[in-house]
Structure 1
Amino acid sequence: MKNNMFMALATSLLNALALVLTPLFTTPDAKQVLMALTGILSPYISIWLLKVYIRADDPPELTRKIGALKSSIKICKSHLKDSSASEDFKKRTREQLEKLQFSLQTVRDDHGKTSDYSVSAVEVLPPER
């Protein structure tokens, strides 16, 4: 729910900014282009802003883990493109790349399990008869 509200607010603010900037343009065609571009681009800019907000809300150690995994994956991919590397090296690099990619998929869950954060269990009671 919080993310939906953020998206709606960001889209509204971007559209309002376009309305404020419209009088700065002198030709009607330029005004129409600005309004059309804003209508098309504001959802995408809002999604990007939401991603920035979510990353800023992450704990610093989680952000470092994600950054380190992405960096390692990038290095593995560059090693796989190296034409002078042996096939044995590339095979081991592919295996390492798969491990890193799997770690990146589960890093948030793993971080939640190792930190003080925990999901509280809800006890479901059977219906009364």
Structure 2
Amino acid sequence: MKNNMFMALTTTAINGAAAIITPLTGKPELAQLLLAICSLASPFLSIVLLKVYIKADDPPELVRQIAALESSIKLCKQDLKDENASPEFRQRTRLQLEHFQSRLQNARADFEAGRAHVVTPFSTD
């Protein structure tokens, strides 16, 4: 529900800004074209903004864990492309790559499972 509201609000804000700014171009044909383009592009821009918002809303520890796993996966893929690597090294790297990918798939769930949620009681005094 929160994400749907964010999408609706950002789409409305983008379209509203376009409706205010486009008449300043001075040419009605250009203003109409820009308004049409903005109205078509605003849902896609809202999706990008929603992804940024969700990423910014993540706890820093989770962001660091995900970044570390993504970096390890990238490094493993580079090592697998190395033509001078031995078959044994490539096999170990493939196993590590699968392990890192599996951990990345479950990173959010594992983080939430190990996270302690503290509920502050209301004071009755």
- Paired residues for 1:49-68 under 5 Å: 49-68=49-68
* TM-score of the superposed pair, with normalisation by structure 2: 0.85
Question: Structure 1: how far apart are the matches of 2:44 and 2:12?
Answer: 13
C-alpha RMSD of the superposition: 1.6
Match of 1:9 in 2: 9
Q: Show structure 2 runs of 5+ residues with no match.
A: 119-125
Equivalent residue pairs, number: 118
1:58 Cα deviation (Å)?
A: 1.1
Q: CA deviation at 1:94?
A: 1.5
Moved over 6 A (4+): none
Separation in 2 of the partners of 1:36 and 1:74? 40
Q: TM-score, normalised by structure 1?
A: 0.83
Deviation string, structure 1 residues 23-67 (Cα, Å, up to 9, x no partner):
122333322331222122211111111111111111111111111
Residue identity over aligned pairs, in percent, reads: 53
Tell me which residue corresponds to 2:101.
101
Structure 1 range deviating more: 24-33 or 75-84: 24-33
Secondary structure, aligned partner of 1:99: helix
Which has the larger displacement, 6-15 or 43-52?
A: 43-52
Provide the C-alpha distance between the structure 2 equivalents of 1:51 and 1:117, rounded to a whole number of angstroms: 24
